[in-house]
Amino acid sequence: MLKSKNKESKNKKQCYISVPSQIITPSSLQSLLLSPKKAPKSSSFKIFKNPRFYFSLIFLFGFLGMLKMWYNIDPFVPFSPNPCSSASHQESSVLSNGVLGFQPQSAVVANGVLKSELKNGGLEAKMEKSEEKIEFWKQPDGLGYRPCLDFSREYEKESVGIMKDRSKYLVVVVSGGMNQQRNQIVDAVVIARILGAALVVPILQVNVIWGDESEFSDIFDVEHFKSVLANDVRIISSLPSTHVMSRPVEEKHTPLHVSPQWIRARYLRRMRREGVLLLRGLDSRLSKDLPSDLQKLRCKVAFHALKFAPPILDLGNKLTERIQSKGPYLALHLRMEKDVWVRTGCLPGLSQEYDEVISNERKLRPELLTSRSNMTYHDRKLAGLCPLNALDVTRLLKALGAPKNVRIFWAGGTPFGGKEALLPLTKEFPHFYNKNDLALPGELEPFANKASILAAIDYMVSENSDVFMPSHGGNMGHAIQGHRAYAGHKKTIIPNKRQMVPYFLNSSLPEAEFNRIIMDLHRDSLGQPELRTSKAGRDVTKYPIPECMRNDSSRYTSL
C-alpha cells in the first residue's frame, strides 16, 4: 500500500473522493486549518516506553496482513479501478470521463432555478426519514466485482512487435451521434490491434442530422487517448509523409459482426501491399464475442482511454456539483424526440393530432423505420419496443418509490410536443432540470450547434448520478449502464418494458397492487452484476463481467 502511494506521488497523479459539499461545514474546515495545542513533551514520549504499545502495533500489522491474504484485497482501499497488477496503468485511478476523479466545488445558483433549494444546504434530502424514500437511493450489492484488465503474456509479447511496426496504418471515419461514434472508436482500436497497424486519430464525419462539425479533439482528450493505449496500439495524429500519397485500401461495406479471422483474411495482405487501410461505417461491424484480451482492450478504450476534453470535463463537473450539492439525484435519459417516435414505429400518446403527425411522417418515409415493419404500433408496445412517454416514466418512478421531492436531471433532445409532453413528470416531480437549467448564462454558448459535445455533457451528469434510468435503449443508455457497472455497480434502473406494459394498460388495477407488481418486476433490474456470457452477442462495454471485472472476494463465488 505504501509503495503504491509513493509511486503515485512520484507520478504527480491525484485521486479524489467525491464528498457532498453540504457536509463540509465552516466548523469542520476550521478544525482542519487550526493546529491543536501541543501536549507537554513528557506525555508525548511516555507511550513509546510502554511495551504494550509495541505489542499492539505488531498485532495490528499482523491482523491486516492476514486480512490481505484471506480476501486478496487492500483493506485501506474500498474500490480500486484496476486491482490486477498487469493492468495498473498510470491513468487507472480515474475512469475515462473523470467521474471517479470528480470533486465537488462550491455550490452555484444557476439562473435562479436552484436558489431556494440551496438555503438548507441539502440537509432536507439527507434528513428524509421515510423508509420508502431511503430505499429508492439504496445501491445494489456489487458482490465483490472490481475492474480487472489482466492481459495475457502472449498479448504483451505481441505488443512489442506491434509498437515497432511502421508499415501498416489504419484510417477510420466514424459517423452518428457522440455515443455511436464512441462505440466505433472502441472497435477501431481493436481492429488496429488485430491487424497490428498504427491507428490514425479517428476522423469524425459531419453529422448530417445536426450539422455538427466537431473533431475528435473537440470531444476527447487526444493525448490521454494516446498515453493510455501506448502499450496496446500505436496512435498517431496523421499519416507519415511516406504514406500520404499511398492509395488506401477502402472498405465501405464491412458485414455485420465479423471475426478477427475474417478481418485478417480480408485486409492483411492488401494492407501490407498498399500500407494504408481506410474503413467507414464501423457500427456493429466487429463481433461482440472476441478473444479475452481483445474484450479487455475494448474495456480499456471505453472506460479509460476515451476521456472527455477538458472544457467538457470542466462544465460537466460544474453542472454535476450544482445538482449534487443538494443531495442525491436521479438522471433520466428521455428518448421522446420526433425522429425517435418515427424510427421506432411508435406513437407519443399525447393526442390524436400528435399521433397523426408521426404516422404521416412514417408513411412518407418508410425507410426510417428501424425494423419489423409488419408490426402494428400496439404489437410493438406490447413487445417492449417503444420508448416510455412521460406518463409511463412517472408511473414507473412512483411505483419504484421515488420521493416526490426527488431532484431529476433529464438528458436528451427536445421532446416532440415540447413542454406539454413533459407535464406528467413535471407535475409529479417539480424539481426537474436539464443542462440549460443548471448552466449559468453564457456557459453553453461555446457549444451551440455542437450536438456531440452537448451529449457528452449530458453523459457526464448522468453517469455521476445516484440513480440512472433510460426511457428507451440506445447507445447512450447502454454506454452509461456499462460505465456505472465498471465504476462499482451504481444503481441503474432498466425498465422491464415487455413485462410491465400489460399492467400499464390495465386501468382497473388498484394503484397499490400496480405498485407492488412493478416493484417485483424490477427487483433484478437495478444495476446488479450480470454476466455477459448469459447475454449472447452483447457488448462487453455494457456487460463488463466476466472479461473486464473479477471477483476478488472469497465470500462471493458466483452471481
Task: Output the DSSP codes for 231-259.
Answer: TT--EESS--TTTTT---EEES-PPTTB-
The predicted structure's pLDDT at residue 60: 59
Helix extents (H) in 276-400: 292-300, 310-324, 338-344, 352-364, 377-382, 390-399
The predicted structure's pLDDT at residue 168: 95
Mean pLDDT of 115-136: 46
Q: How far apart are CA 435 and CA 144, in angstroms?
A: 34
Contacts (Cβ under 8 Å, ≥6 apart) of 344: 370, 380, 385, 386, 387, 472
Cβ pair 395, 515 in contact under 8 A:
no
The predicted structure's pLDDT at residue 97: 56
The predicted structure's pLDDT at residue 101: 35
Is the pLDDT confidence value at 33 over 50?
no
Helix extents (H) in 49-177: 51-71, 115-118, 123-126, 131-136, 153-164
**pLDDT, tens only, 533-546:** 776 789 999 999 99
405 burial type by CB count under 10 A (0-12 exposed, 13-18 middle, 19+ buried): middle
Contacts (Cβ under 8 Å, ≥6 apart) of 262: 255
Residue found under cell 438555503 = 119
Work out the pLDDT band at 508, boundaries 50, 70, 90.
very high
Cβ pair 371, 491 in contact under 8 A:
no
The amino acid that residue 200 corresponds to is V
289 burial type by CB count under 10 A (0-12 exposed, 13-18 middle, 19+ buried): middle
Work out the pLDDT band at 61, boundaries 50, 70, 90.
low
The predicted structure's pLDDT at residue 403: 95
SS percent in the chain: helix, strand, coil, step 5: 45, 10, 45
Specify the DSSP element, H or E, that contains 386. Answer: none
The predicted structure's pLDDT at residue 56: 60
Is the pLDDT confidence value at 278 over 90?
yes
Task: Output the DSSP codes for 399-442.
Answer: HTT--TT-EEEEESSPPTTGGGGGHHHHHH---EE-HHHHSPTT
First-residue to last-residue Cα distance in the chain: 29
Residue found under cell 416526490 = 404
Is the pLDDT confidence value at 554 over 60?
no
**pLDDT, tens only, 425-458:** 999 999 999 999 999 999 999 999 899 999 999 9
**pLDDT, tens only, 1-28:** 434 444 444 443 333 323 333 322 333 2
The predicted structure's pLDDT at residue 537: 81
Q: How far apart are CA 185 and CA 304, in angstroms?
A: 13
Is the pLDDT confidence value at 37 over 80?
no
The predicted structure's pLDDT at residue 116: 34
Work out the pLDDT band at 89, boundaries 50, 70, 90.
very low
Work out the pLDDT band at 53, boundaries 50, 70, 90.
low
Is the pLDDT confidence value at 85 over 60?
no
491: closest CA among 17, 145, 146, 141? 141
